[in-house]
Amino acid sequence: MKEIRLLLIEDDEEDFELFQDTLDDIENFKFKTTWISNYKKALETIASEEFDLLVVDYLLGAYSGLELCQKFREMGKITPIILLTGKGDSEVDRQASEIGVNDYLVKRNIKADELERSIRYTIKNHEMVMALKVSQSKYRAFLKNSQDILFIANTDCNLVNVSDSLKTITGFSKKDLNNKGLLELILKEDLKKELLATIADKKSIHKQSATIKCKDGEIKTVELTCLYQEGFNEPDFIHGVIIDKTEEVKMMQSRLVNEKLESTARFMRTLAHEVRNPLSNISLAIEGMEAEEEEVSPYLSIIKRNSGRIDNIITKVLNSSHIETKAFEKINLIESLETVIETVKDKASLKGIEMVVNLPVEPLELNLNEEQFSLAVSNILVNAVEALDQNKDGVIRVTLENGKLYISDNGPGISKEDQGHIFEPYYTRKTNGIGLGLSSTLGILKAHQIELELDSDLGKGATFVLHLPVEVDA
């Protein structure tokens, strides 16, 4: 049998005795009753002790039982309350409900079965309310602390509720997105149409790869799950999660490129070694023939010249796959960059291309191989010049700020498809190129622990961002 700790606040002793007698007639509960007869003592008792149920008389001398209930709630007490009145009154019922009283009874008509029903109802109702509050608390905590964007939206994709991570990941608040909601985030029009069509068919989207645009213009790769839910008595809605996969995708792409670089480098070193051996024999043979023959065939000079070209290509291949990390030393990064830029400026000027340079005046020291680092930066700058070859208003900007070196141009840009290949060895769109420039650049920067990032699209120019090591000292 369940024991209930009951506090009765009643200023009339005779009414207390009648109430206690009624409690004694209830067989399904065991009551441990505390009786308080005045307002002040009731406040002190409820503040210091815990009860399962409060039963409060509406009239307490100079005070009202409603006032007492109001004080209880202001104290943060959530104990369920039954209010006793002398007669039924709809206005009292309304006021009691607003304060948070769970039930009220006309005390002169109370019978055991009616009181038992009221107690059972009040306690059960209180348990349900508390369970709901706990659930709401967990729900709010889940939304607040989630690393992913959790959302609930109506069928127009307008956000009803969303986790705080929306602001963290995208920079947008719920208010910023207005009535477009999810559609404001999604970059591609095709996916927006697909999402709306799926919702219209009352279906769901699971783990859909997507790109979203952040408030600062940054593009992020995400995974979108959007589930359709019937609302039963409420309008239907959608709920789901947006998981930021940007860093994961970058790491995966970087790993794939590195694996290709390493695999290709091993292959080319082996191939270069195998080619160079017979090439050396050919060169020696030509030299011997030139020394022995009085009249040398003109074909020998062609063979000798092309043998030299092959040897130079082999040297380039080997250099692209080998970074001399032992030659690292502290250098002034600003001076090194100025020297590289100066070597490219002449070529840019001849093509009518403007170079806008914004470098700090104060020296910046960085531990690197100056020759190789300069080659990497030069490759990027030369690529920009060649991309602007047909652009009459071509501009190349070089900016160093916050530990990042930005090299950007207003050329034709690079398609998303080509961006996945331009750092691969021997991939090139140039008619006279061999595709080792950017591949070599990536290898050099990797050896320097400098992350290379590309932001571009067709018709929007290209920006290469070099994330310099954190140990850069001013």
pLDDT digits (tens, 9 = 90+) for 256-306: 766 766 776 677 677 777 777 787 878 887 777 777 766 667 777 778 788
137-142 mean pLDDT: 73
**pLDDT at residue 400, as a whole number:** 92
**pLDDT at residue 244, as a whole number:** 92
Q: Is residue 474 very low, low, confident or very high in pLDDT (cuts 50, 70, 90)?
A: very low
How many Cβ atoms from other residues are within 10 Å of residue 402's Cβ?
7
> Domain 2-142 - what CATH class?
alpha beta
91-115 mean pLDDT: 83
Tokens 């003592």, residue located: 41
How many Cβ atoms from other residues are within 10 Å of residue 148's Cβ?
17
Region for 323 from its dihedrals, namely left if φ exceeds 0, alpha if ψ lies in -120 to 50, beta otherwise:
beta
**pLDDT at residue 232, as a whole number:** 81
Strand-pairing partners, residue 223, are 209, 243
pLDDT above 90 for 418: no
Of 56-65, 350-359, 388-397, the one with minimum mean pLDDT is 388-397
357-384 mean pLDDT: 88
pLDDT above 60 for 22: yes
**pLDDT at residue 434, as a whole number:** 47
Tokens 């004080």, residue located: 71
Question: In this structure, are residues 472 and 411 in contact, taking their beta carbons and an 8 Å threshold?
Answer: no
Q: Which CATH superfamily is domain 325-467 in?
A: Histidine kinase-like ATPase, C-terminal domain (3.30.565.10)
End-to-end CA distance of the chain: 77
Quick one: 257 exposed, middle or buried, by C-beta within 10 A (0-12, 13-18, 19+)? buried
pLDDT above 50 for 362: yes
431-458 mean pLDDT: 73
* The two structure tokens encoding residue 192: 């927006």
**pLDDT at residue 204, as a whole number:** 92
Question: In this structure, are residues 241 and 149 in contact, taking their beta carbons and an 8 Å threshold?
Answer: yes
* The two structure tokens encoding residue 388: 């602007």
pLDDT above 80 for 315: no
359-364 mean pLDDT: 88
**pLDDT at residue 429, as a whole number:** 55
**pLDDT at residue 91, as a whole number:** 77
| Range(s) within the chain of domains with CATH label 3.40.50.2300 | 2-142
Query: In sequence order, what are the residues at sequence separation of 6 or more whose Cβ sits closer than 8 angstroms to the Cβ of residue 422?
Result: 414, 438, 454
**pLDDT at residue 427, as a whole number:** 53
How many Cβ atoms from other residues are within 10 Å of residue 63's Cβ?
15
DSSP 131-191: HHHHHHHHHHHHHHH-SSEEEEEETT--EEEE-THHHHHHS--TGGGGGGTHHHHB--HHH
Tokens 């009283």, residue located: 101
| Range(s) within the chain of domains with CATH label 3.30.565.10 | 325-467
pTM of the entire structure?
0.53
CATH fold for the domain made of 146-244: Beta-Lactamase (3.30.450)
| Range(s) within the chain of domains with CATH label 3.30.450.20 | 146-244
Q: Is residue 454 very low, low, confident or very high in pLDDT (cuts 50, 70, 90)?
A: confident
How many Cβ atoms from other residues are within 10 Å of residue 262's Cβ?
13
**pLDDT at residue 473, as a whole number:** 43
